[in-house]
Amino acid sequence: MLGLMQQKPLLITTLLEHAALNHPNKEVVSCPIEGGIHRYTYADSLVRTKKLAKALLKLGVDRGDRIGTLAWNTYRHFELFYGVPGIGAVCHTINPRLFDEQLIYIINHAENRFLFVDTTFLDLVERLMPRLPTVEAVIVMTDTGNMPGSSLPNVHCYEELLTEQNDDLEWPEFDENTASSLCYTSGTTGDPKGVLYAHRSTYIHTITACMADVHAFQEADVILPIAPMFHANSWGIPYCAPAVGANLILPGRDVSGAHIKTLIKQEKVTKACAVPTIWLDYLNQVEGTNEGAGSLGRIVVGGTAPPRSMFERFHALGVEVAQGWGMTEMSPLGTVGKLKASMMDLPDKVQLDLLLKQGRGIVGVEMRIVNDDGKELPWDGKAFGLLQVRGPWITSGYFKRDDSPVDEAGWFDTGDVATIDPEGFMQITDRAKDVIKSGGEWISSIDLENAAMGHPGVAEAAVIGVYHPKWDERPLLVLVPKGDPPEKQDVIDYLADHVVKWWLPDDIVFVDELPHTATGKVQKNTLRDTFKDYELPTV
Amino acid sequence: MLGLMQQKPLLITTLLEHAALNHPNKEVVSCPIEGGIHRYTYADSLVRTKKLAKALLKLGVDRGDRIGTLAWNTYRHFELFYGVPGIGAVCHTINPRLFDEQLIYIINHAENRFLFVDTTFLDLVERLMPRLPTVEAVIVMTDTGNMPGSSLPNVHCYEELLTEQNDDLEWPEFDENTASSLCYTSGTTGDPKGVLYAHRSTYIHTITACMADVHAFQEADVILPIAPMFHANSWGIPYCAPAVGANLILPGRDVSGAHIKTLIKQEKVTKACAVPTIWLDYLNQVEGTNEGAGSLGRIVVGGTAPPRSMFERFHALGVEVAQGWGMTEMSPLGTVGKLKASMMDLPDKVQLDLLLKQGRGIVGVEMRIVNDDGKELPWDGKAFGLLQVRGPWITSGYFKRDDSPVDEAGWFDTGDVATIDPEGFMQITDRAKDVIKSGGEWISSIDLENAAMGHPGVAEAAVIGVYHPKWDERPLLVLVPKGDPPEKQDVIDYLADHVVKWWLPDDIVFVDELPHTATGKVQKNTLRDTFKDYELPTV
């Protein structure tokens, strides 16, 4: 028997409509590419977003069409976040930092009919355009006065398109499972994969993110999303701010510590989110001045694990730091590092140990760790296994791909290896493909590397699994020495104080340098390839 | 085109599962009918709830069956809130304070197959049972030691049913629109009407209620829901507490100010909700002692509008007061009275004026005011019209009734007349049926009554509309004087200082007493009946 409650679909535009009606004077503040500061209210934003929607319809955009964006965090990108899905099309945010070949693959795979680009990316698009057969026109996100010349045949000016329209539009109502936005993940191997979000998943994710124990966003907040809008929709914050009527500060192109510091001070930002690199830059700007962090009450840091010192430095400024963990495939929220009431009396050091974990599960996300056989492992903070997740804002498949990333029971494999402690705090210990499988037991390459990095003679360390006839795999430690290489036995002795005996590497190799990706990560695939025939002395 | 996100249904049991896994040691603390204090953890609760579900299946409960409860707020009732909907049946909470005839109507209309009752209500059920043909058995919510004797043929002991079961149960997965609970509203006229909640509506309502700007529930909270679980599911709090892992304090039968005070102190309650009467009793207990309100940080007051003095008295104790407005048909949350950032610097008096309104809209609830012709009225804080709402946790129809309470566009008519100010703060000015319609304009009976109550010679006042050939209706003021009746003209002169001229009553009638309902409200229907042929002197 079904209940008798209204079947209003959960649509993204309802969030902006809510803000425009209930918080008409709250502001979206942007740093446009043209320079200066742009301010307008949610009421203004709704009017312009409706004009944009009508402009899209006039361009011939149909339901389901993927509309690409190559843009920084500004109010025009914000309008696209609502205007495009508002008419049933898909806002496809493209990461402009990718290589040309990746961009071409992604735009062609998504079959983008239109590209909305900041002036900064017009050169890029002109270069790629001969290889983008599906793109019918490019819309430059600026006004007529700032409109650059272009060699492209079909280029529109964003503001001109809007000027031609009025805001007389009722949003269409459709299935809440309709696709709303698209974001490609670029793994270290294989083609980029498109994560296709829906109105429903985005709406539920948004409301959940505003819960007091997640981001605790509220009307009184001034929220600065520094994570780019092409990274999992800036972690969902452009949806959260209107949902609660908070002021939203969009930093534009310049995310240097100096600019972030200025924005926080000038706009009285209370909450902000970014990757560790940004925050380290910000800290360097603020520390040593008398200004402190001002209104900033809480930051969320994610994307990669922040160093311990970052917590200490922010705490010294009176700023709460919460680590958020997630993935593009998770909209992105999975866990958030908020201490529990029972932990508030623990010594600072122990609290910090807990905050350095990736956080605890959010209601709506089911989480588990399993071994190679799919057997569930205990939440004891020790056992580590493949981290799997399940829930209404987690991907069920990639765009235009038949292979499913979830198993029969709906579990999505994150590709991470993690522990979960009895209080539900999850800690990532390795990537699944990097963990060393020795006689059925797992050895964390990251833990071994971190231990080796503590040795005074070591500049950089990487651990890979190498074939062993008895144990299947055993760890090989690859070291870049500081100056003269230390004695192997000396390193082994050092490690013996930090890890259990059976984790100790079977051999050590010294190299001049390690292979790195463009973003600075060690390319373990390359290393494994280099040492695939390496014979361990223990064989 | 649909998105590619997981289609996990939003089911109520996921909330309790989340608590048991992520907050296994957080507690549900109850004051059982047997006396003393009962404590157990969410992990314990899940085990028992699964046993209950298996016991229900063994009793023969099928999907869609309505299972009645006549019970106070205790852990066993909490278990029924999850165990019954967990197997796809419907938890039908019955208000034991209704008259016998209403109870009989409701139980028969709902076709309850089983009734779960606290020992306190066994007498009541024995009395009614000859007229309850659908009820197959009664389960008394106690243990064998406290099991009372009964004249009924088919009576079970709750604890005995659980003892026979283990917790080896996987919750079935089904459509999230499946009915989960049922609650009848008893209006002043007509038969009670059943509001049939769904898993989906309950889940979305729960998450929304935990948003920082709504109830801001978090893990560190200790939440005391005093509103009975048979009143719109205790305003949804038994779902919110597990969703965030907060301790949940269930007060049992005794909701006196003295007991509430003890519980708040003993359990370190941080947030609580109740009707004004309860809070007035609590204030009387606390004021004049040195104890203060202790850990209590915020209360929610709803059900009926609280007096201004209640805010002042709580503020003096350092407790924030938020008025919540809603209806059984709204799950119940509609608005919550939280000031906006821009209001924090206003003078206390102005802030209090705002807090006395019913609050501002919650994301998910669309709200509007319309005139008699359905034309939308402005949010100017002055225009008042019929208050209508729409959203995913608002009823679309009543159980087993063909007449729809919503119009074609999905708007549910609340039966209230209200203003909404430019900041979205809604204020109820009247019941729709009590408003006086004079020449196409509306006069608020409540405003006129409140003004009249200010006159020193008036003990109680009621205003009704009486036929007028020119204006359709004009106000008649019915007064209970304090001692000797004042001069009519003196009252009119007094009112002229408080309301616009065309609102002034056309006549005043003095009576010894006004007719009241059981809950103390003036029966305007009766008054209108009494004065239906009254001829106004202005005719």
Strands A222-225 and A271-274 come out as parallel
pLDDT (0 to 100) of residue A187: 63
Residue A442 among the catalytic residues: yes
Rounded to an integer, the average pLDDT of A397-423 is 95
Rounded to an integer, the average pLDDT of A358-366 is 97
In this predicted structure, the answer to whether residue B81 has a pLDDT above a threshold of 70 is yes
Residue B366 among the catalytic residues: no
Rounded to an integer, the average pLDDT of B229-247 is 97
Q: Which residues contact A127 (CB under 8 A, 6 or more apart)?
A: A100
pLDDT above 90 covers a percentage of chain A that reads 88
DSSP-derived 3-state class of residue A354: helix
Please say whether the beta carbons of A33 and A74 come within 8 A: yes
pLDDT digit string, tens, across residues A468-504:
999 899 999 999 999 999 999 999 999 999 988 999 9
Rounded to an integer, the average pLDDT of B385-409 is 95
pLDDT digit string, tens, across residues A101-143:
999 999 999 999 999 999 999 999 999 999 999 999 999 999 9
pLDDT (0 to 100) of residue A182: 98
Rounded to an integer, the average pLDDT of B41-51 is 98
Residues 335-374 of A with CB under 8 A from B: 338, 340-342, 344, 360-361, 363-364, 366
Contact criterion met (CB < 8 Å) for B197 and A5: yes
Calculate how close chain A gets to B178, using CA atoms only, in Å.
4
**Amino acid at the residue A314:** F
Structure tokens at B498: 């408080």
Residue A136 among the catalytic residues: no
DSSP-derived 3-state class of residue B347: coil
Task: Name all domains of chain B by residue range, CATH numbers in brackets.
Answer: 13-252 (3.40.50.12780), 436-530 (3.30.300.30)
B11 contact A CB<8A: no
Catalytic residue among B27, B159, B176, B329: B329
**Which residues on chain A are in Cβ contact (under 8 Å) with B381?**
none
In this predicted structure, the answer to whether residue B519 has a pLDDT above a threshold of 70 is no
Q: Which residues contact A375 (CB under 8 A, 6 or more apart)?
A: none
In this predicted structure, the answer to whether residue A190 has a pLDDT above a threshold of 80 is no
B409 contact A CB<8A: no
pLDDT (0 to 100) of residue A446: 87
Cβ neighbours, 10 Å, residue A15? 26
CA-to-CA dists, residue B3 to A59, A85, A88, A199, A452, angstroms: 23, 11, 11, 8, 45
**Which residues on chain B are in Cβ contact (under 8 Å) with A63?**
1
Residue A366 among the catalytic residues: no
B175 contact A CB<8A: yes
Instruction: Tell me which of A137-146, A224-233, A325-334, A510-519 is least confident.
Output: A510-519
Calculate how close chain B gets to A221, using CA atoms only, in Å.
8
Please say whether the beta carbons of A431 and A398 come within 8 A: no
> What is the Cα–Cα distance from A36 to A33, expressed in whole angstroms?
8
pLDDT digit string, tens, across residues B294-335:
999 999 999 888 989 999 999 999 999 999 999 999 999 999
Q: Confidence band (pLDDT; 50, 70, 90) for B285?
A: very high
Calculate how close chain A gets to B378, using CA atoms only, in Å.
11
CA-wise closest residue to A433 among A449, A451, A420, A446: A446
> What is the Cα–Cα distance from B463 to B452, expressed in whole angstroms?
9
Rounded to an integer, the average pLDDT of B189-210 is 94
Mean model confidence pLDDT for chain B: 95
> What is the Cα–Cα distance from A426 to B182, expressed in whole angstroms?
38
ipTM score over 0.90, yes or no: yes
In this predicted structure, the answer to whether residue B29 has a pLDDT above a threshold of 70 is yes
Catalytic residue among B72, B279, B379, B442: B442
Rounded to an integer, the average pLDDT of B152-168 is 97
Rounded to an integer, the average pLDDT of B17-21 is 98
Closest Cα in chain B to A88: B1
Contact criterion met (CB < 8 Å) for B18 and A392: no
Taking the whole predicted model, whether its pTM rises above 0.90 is answered as yes
Mean model confidence pLDDT for chain A: 95
The phi and psi torsions of B519 (rounded to 5 degrees) equal -95, 10
Using CB atoms, which residue from A14, A360, A406 is nearest to B22?
Answer: A360
Catalytic residue among A171, A235, A411, A442: A442
CA-to-CA dists, residue B260 to A8, B216, B246, angstroms: 39, 21, 18
Q: Which letter does DSSP use for residue B482 in this model? A: S
In this predicted structure, the answer to whether residue A518 has a pLDDT above a threshold of 70 is no
